[in-house]
Amino acid sequence: MFLLFFLLCESIILSDAVVDPGQRVDCLPNPHKQTKDDCIETGCIWDGQYDKYNPTVPMCYYPPNTGYTIQSNVPGNLKLKWTSNTLNNPYSRPNLDIDVQYQKMGDGIYVRIGTEDRWLPPLNEIRNPSNFEQVISSNSLSFELGNANEPFSFKIQRNDSNQQNIWDTSIGGLVFGDQFIQIATFLSSDRLYGLGENMHHELKHDFSLYKTWGAFSRDQGNEYYVPGSYNGYGVHPFYVGLEPSGKAHGVLILNSNAQEYVTGPGPHFVYRTIGGQLELFFFPGPTAEEVIRQYQQIIGTPYLPAYWAFGFRLCRWGYRSLEDVQNTVQRVRDAQIPYDVQYADIDYMERFKDFTYDKKKWAGLPEFAKQLHSWDMKLVLIWDPPVQANYSTFQRAIDKGVSFIEWPTEALVQKEVNDLYPLTRDTKIMLGPMWPDYHCGFPDFLDPLPNTTDWWVDEFVRFHNEVQFDGIWIDMNEPSVFGTNEQHPSYFDTQIAFSGKPPIAPLMCPEPNNKLDYPPYRTLNAYQWDGGNTKKTLNEKTLCMIGKSGRRNWSMYDTHSLYGWSEMVATQKALRVSTGKRGSLTSRSTFPSSGHYGGHWLGDNQSRWPDLRLSIIGVMEFNMFGIPQVGADVCGFIGDSNEELCLRWQQLGAFHSYYRNHNDVNSKVSQDPAQWKSVATATRVANLFRYRHLPYLYSLHFRASLYGGTVIRPLFFEFPSDTNTHTLNFQFMWGPAMVIVPVVNPNVDSVHGYLPVNETWYSMSEAHEYGARIMPGFSAFKAPRDTPLPTFLRGGYIIPRQEPDLTTTASRKKPFQLLIGLKPLACPCKLVAVGEMFWDDGETIVDDFGNHSYYRFEFSTTATHNWTTIVVNRTHNSSEDPLPSLDQIVILGHNFTPNLDTATLNGIPIKLSADFVPEKGALKVESARLIRLDDANTAVWTLSWQNGHKDDDGHAEGSGANRELSFMIAIYLAATFTTALALIGHWQ
């Protein structure tokens, strides 16, 4: 009897209310307030007998049969009423009556949950009906209502024979209060990837326990050893899910308020936010790459950077003077390392003020920019969003009616701060400390009037007239503020970065009656930073949430995480107008659709092996988020790198789209690759490999910009039916054709990797014998320090490349080459491969690809024991741009002995020099100006030769010597390209 009484006391149970410990929705997610009394008061179930061996299981959880009922059901529009009188919203009472609107989004589904008067992020292009129509799939989705006898729920179902549910909200937990909104769903599997920006240590989310992650833009670098799931610089509530069948889908939850998401063993998923509405976008795939293309039809396809933006970049925060930079540039050039871009961090500015440069230490900066240009190199400079309140740039802003983030009322203004500056006296501009010596205003880039963007553009134009920069790097745009709410901010004491900075007053956010800065539920984005008796707030390290944006129409509570995105939109325009070219734009803080305007680097990492590993996952995730130009600070930003770490990171960085070495002012080591002889050698080799293959990398970016898609992708994108690829954290692909296996641990000369089965693979690196066929499966691959990383070409693909030089400008002038990896088609007697290349001038601004001048080429190869045929088809022609000829073709897996005496080009005999290694099936043929790709009179080139031994007359045995016949056979074989393409998978 006592035991029974004890159990009843420990578990407050409604009838049939016990929920499996692996399928619960936490009713009190505040980690500091989880008592039985709180749980009972809310109307939830307290379970004191939860699994002690899995302390992540919620002790207080929602009972079943609670939630909303449907009051009105018009197709596409439901009205819901909260009817669970025994259950309270734990943090925002009362629960609101809400609408659920749903509609087809092409072959996907769009659902909005909320009320018409509530905040929605002003990304109106995302909701454009014409964009919805572009979500096209061979396998559509449908919206299905749940059981009519239970509280409201819905399913998103795949319209196929399996009718797979990709979302099923019958798990319960839907609540909707003014400042606490939650939705939960069962998932189709535990194969879930994405959601950010967080530092995920594994690519696939772990569903073996309950795990919560925060999402709210914050100036927060990699703190690998800090426990928790802290939020990073940007917000990306998007994921890709793999279903049991291997089909993929995607989900975007568009919301800009502070939010968090939970993965649970169900497998299930819980999403919480503290404002706005729930906008759910479901993308049907059914391949992962199609999911990303569909997603980008909604958020915008990625911007296309200038060609030089794919070259090697070098930076340091802490260059003491322009002379220090010049010495670094010369040192790296002397080491013969391919190198395109030199940066200047905030050191170049006059006391850290935007649109200035130090006329003493950096007096020759304008001339330095011209010197770089004379070497075919580029200059990228940094800008931060805040503008000091007492100099000319701020004066022009006031004169032009620029909107700044403001206090909501005059009574809340920190007058003792604003009155320090004539330009802010009697204004409501919210001022805060940042890098400059004095208080700064923060431009309101969500200004619905053109004033703010026009002023921002004008300032860049004005500065470009002085210093001819080529690219823009925007930092600290979460936005970051130093010392908010601190009585003694750290900048009072820090001398290295702030040398000479006055101890100006910090920004103080008011507390009484301020539910925006101090909401009832602070989300993990604040809770995880609590310490002792200190309760952290959302405004830590940033502006007050009570601040007004959008020219006083909206609150920072709603728009904070949009700040970096909105600055990117304005800055892309500034870059184009000031330079007149495409250039390169890189931002730290991002949001869905940021990739349409620029790229991203992964922020302030540390010089540690764990950070190298994290960078690989981050790069793959941001490709899923629609930002394919992404990379990490090579060798690490914070702390001193070491020779081996820097060497391996340079090798890895050479395969990331955004490739920059960067470290900070406190590092004792200037880690440019010329600092160590071994690193210089490894970097030279890695960069030459990269520059050789830039035509392929650029073509991948061009295709992503034109049609959508990833550039660097996880292996499961290409091989979903191979379950070994689902948990590969540190391998990745360039497009569909190349697999890279990096070294991620110290003191090794080989690396364990995996090549998917039922595929043909060839070594592209001297790490393994170049051109050799590699067996699929798990292997230990050699990884010397003086070769490129283990890199493998997938059979069935053709990669365009060029002989590399020391800059991308010089490399672009070299003749093209094709690297062909043959794959058996149906039987070993017929081998095929396909590929493509995009090419333009590499710098013209692209507003509309329909009006843009570019080339596109399709490549196909067919080889049998009788013939080998290579077809080059120019499918899109530029009327303006000359381009190099195609001079060399390398074929791997050519298992037939070529008779190049029979070679013809478009039926005309041609002389080729050749090198054939029969034991590897590696064939190289070349001739100067073999194919003039810009020949206005020819659009299709067919190169063919016979295979087999020569007879006594010098002809291929059994084939005859009729040249017309050879050409006809070549045309016939070329026609098999369509069949080959269908069988080996479309180029994407």
> Using 50, 70 and 90 to split pLDDT, how confident is the model at 15?
very low
Convert the pLDDT of each residue in 785-799 to its tens digit: 999 999 999 999 999
Residue 194, C-beta contacts closer than 8 angstroms, at least 6 positions apart: 236, 238, 239, 240, 621, 624, 625
Question: Which residues make beta-bridge pairs with 733?
Answer: 713, 739
Q: What is the pLDDT, as a whole number, of residue 464? A: 99
Residue 18's pLDDT is what?
A: 82
pLDDT(410) > 50: yes
Catalytic annotation present for 478 = yes
Domain end, chosen from 299, 324, 352, is at 299
Q: How much is the pLDDT for 11?
A: 43
Task: Say if residue 501's pLDDT is above 90.
Answer: no
- Gap between the Cα atoms of 35 and 37, Å rounded: 5
Does 216 fall in a domain? yes
Compute φ and ψ for 265, nearest 5 degrees.
Answer: -65, -10
**Given 279, 478, 567, 841, which residue is catalytic?**
478
Mean pLDDT of 89-109: 95
Rounded Cα distance, 446 and 355, in Å? 21
Quick one: pLDDT at residue 988? 56
Is the pLDDT score of 557 beyond 60? yes
CA distance 534 to 748: 45
Is pLDDT of 228 > 70? no
pLDDT in tens, 335-386: 999 999 999 999 999 999 999 999 999 999 999 999 999 999 999 999 999 9
590-613: average pLDDT: 98
Predicted local distance difference test score (pLDDT) of residue 17: 65
Residue 117 lies in a domain: yes
What is the spatial distance between Cα 915 and Cα 933, in angstroms, rounded to a whole number? 23
Q: How many CB atoms lie within 10 A of CB 137?
A: 21
The domain of 73 spans 68-299
Q: What are phi and psi of 631, to 5 degrees?
A: -170, 175
Question: pLDDT class for 457, splitting at 50, 70, 90?
Answer: very high
- Give the pLDDT confidence score for residue 65 in this predicted structure: 81
Rounded CA-CA distance 464/587 in Å is 19
User: Which of 121-130, 148-157, 499-508 has the weakest average pLDDT?
Assistant: 499-508
Instruction: Report pLDDT for 495.
Output: 60
Instruction: State the average pLDDT over residues 924-929.
Output: 98
Residue 901: is its pLDDT beyond 90?
Answer: yes
pLDDT at 33: 79
Q: Which residues are registered as beta bridge partners of 340?
A: none
Q: Which residue did the predictor score with more confidence, 490 or 51?
A: 490
CATH number of the domain that 140 lies in?
2.60.40.1760
Segment among 60-69, 172-181, 477-486, 835-844 with least mean pLDDT: 60-69
Q: How far apart are CA 727 and CA 714, in angstroms?
A: 9
711-720 mean pLDDT: 99
Phi first, then psi: give them for residue 9, nearest 5 degrees: -70, -35
The pLDDT, as a whole number, for residue 496 is 56
881 catalytic? Reply is no
**Burial 533-558, CB ≥16 within 10 A → b, else e:** eeebbbbbbbbbbbbbbbbbebbbbb
Closest among 252, 921, 848, 336 to 592, alpha carbons compared: 252
Say if 140 falls within a structural domain: yes
User: Per-residue confidence at 948, pLDDT binned at 50, 70, 90?
Assistant: confident
Total number of domains constituting the chain: 2
As given in the structure block, the two tokens for residue 878 are: 């530029």
Domain membership of residue 374 (yes or no) is no
Per-residue confidence at 498, pLDDT binned at 50, 70, 90?
Answer: low
> Which residue of the set 168, 190, 290, 475 is catalytic?
475
Distance CA 360, CA 358 (A): 5
On average, the pLDDT of the chain sits at 93
Question: How much is the pLDDT for 230?
Answer: 85
Give me the residues paired with residue 534 across strands: 531
Task: Work out the percent of the chain whose per-residue pLDDT is above 70.
Answer: 93
**874 touches 857 (CB < 8 A):** yes
Tokens of 44: 């939830």
The residue out of 256, 279, 299 marking a domain boundary is 299
**For the segment 753-787, what is each residue's pLDDT rounded down to a tens digit?**
999 999 999 999 988 889 999 999 999 999 999 99
- Whether residue 695 is preceded by a cis peptide bond, meaning omega within 30 degrees of 0, is no
Q: Is residue 10 assigned to a domain? A: no
Q: Is residue 973 part of a domain?
A: yes
Query: Residue 184 falls within a domain, yes or no?
Result: yes
Quick one: pLDDT band at residue 597, thresholds 50, 70, 90? Answer: very high
Which tens digits make up the pLDDT trace of 851-890? 999 999 999 999 999 999 999 999 999 877 889 999 999 9
| Predicted local confidence at residue 227, as pLDDT | 55
- Is there a domain that residue 917 lies in? yes
pTM assigned to the model: 0.95
| Confidence category of residue 4, pLDDT binned at 50, 70, 90 | very low
* Nearest Cα to Cα of residue 435 among 360, 351, 355, 495: 351
Residue type, 899: N
Catalytic residue among 260, 604, 858, 887: 604
Q: Taking Cα atoms as reference points, which of 437, 401, 408 lies closest to residue 421?
A: 437
What confidence tens digit (pLDDT) does each residue in 687-700 have? Answer: 999 999 999 999 99
Q: What's the pLDDT at 951?
A: 40
Structure tokens belonging to residue 323: 């002379």
pLDDT of residue 554: 99
Cα–Cα–Cα angle for 493, 498, 501, rounded to 5 degrees:
85
- Enumerate the β-bridge partners of residue 864: 830
At residue 602 the predicted structure's pLDDT band, cuts being 50, 70 and 90, is: very high
- Would you list the DSSP string of 323-349? HHHHHHHHHHHHTT----EEEE-GGGS
Name the CA radius of gyration of the chain, rounded: 30
- List the one residue out of 723, 364, 665, 642 whose CA is nearest residue 494: 665
pLDDT digits 0-9 by tens, 277-301: 999 999 999 999 999 999 999 999 9
Residues 6+ apart with CB under 8 A from 72: 78, 79
Query: Last residue of a domain, which of 299, 320, 345?
Result: 299
User: Is 604 annotated as catalytic?
Assistant: yes
- What is the average pLDDT across 678-691? 99
